[in-house]
Amino acid sequence: MNFFIEENNNFVPFTTQHLGVILFIFCFGSLLIFISKKQPKTVQNKIGNVFAFSICATTLLGVFVSVYNGNFNYKTDLPLHLCSFLTLVIPLLSFTRKLLYYEIFFFLVIAGTLQSLITPDDYNYLNFKFFRYWYVHAGLVIFMFFATFVYQLRPTLKSVGKAFLAMQVYMLLMFVINNFLGSNYFYTNRKPNAATLLDFFGDWPQYIFVVELIVIPYFLLIYLPFYLTRKKA
């Protein structure tokens, strides 16, 4: 079997197989953060840069492999879904460590990408597509915790509004691109094929309006542990 052929090898969500992957991700992320916290700041920055760049490079490699295999489809394979797009810009945070980037990326990653680990929309197993999916999605989540505990960045209440506005800009951009390409990036035209929380929000376009209504309360829920920590301090 060619490792780079994107065929389906029956990865089944919510099984021991799936839980094993989640456990490995948790252990890898915890170990990376634990070791990095004990390093000098210059070393921490290098680790963060290499990690962020590797996530970005994995996404770009996925596009190259699709082109190489002759099955690239601009309607589905451009790195324009939220998670893929975030991998392209995450090096901005690692190289600059600016709070504004952290504020926006943190909520978008935790709110969106974390769900991709719980309800994956790709059922390949033990080939390149499998490792690309999990390294990219898990890598984003781990990197945001890396930025939180190693870079010592923290969101504020204003960060919720900044992340919400950034999401609106991105969604409007995807509406335009999808209308031009006939694609479905950011799922603005229809829900993903996999089971997700969107299944509870009705059909198109109802689920878009429901998401718009709940996204700020969802962001506030994500912010709650930071608020409680600040209040205790």
CB-based contacts of 186, cutoff 8 Å, min separation 6: 80, 81, 82, 170, 171, 174, 178
**pTM, two decimal places:** 0.88
State yes or no: pLDDT of 232 exceeds 80.
no
pLDDT tens track for 154-171: 999 999 999 999 999 999
State yes or no: pLDDT of 3 exceeds 60.
no
* Residue 211, pLDDT score: 86
Half-sphere exposure of 85 (CA within 13 A, CB side): 15
Confidence at 1, pLDDT banded by 50, 70, 90: very low
State yes or no: pLDDT of 7 exceeds 60.
no
> CA separation (Å) from 55 to 10, 94, 137?
24, 11, 9
Angle, CA 63 vertex, CA 48 and CA 109 arms, to 5°: 45
State yes or no: pLDDT of 54 exceeds 80.
yes
Q: Using the structure block, give the residue that is written with the tokens 């601009």.
A: 74
- The span from the first CA to the last CA of the chain, in angstroms, equals 56
* Residue 210, pLDDT score: 87
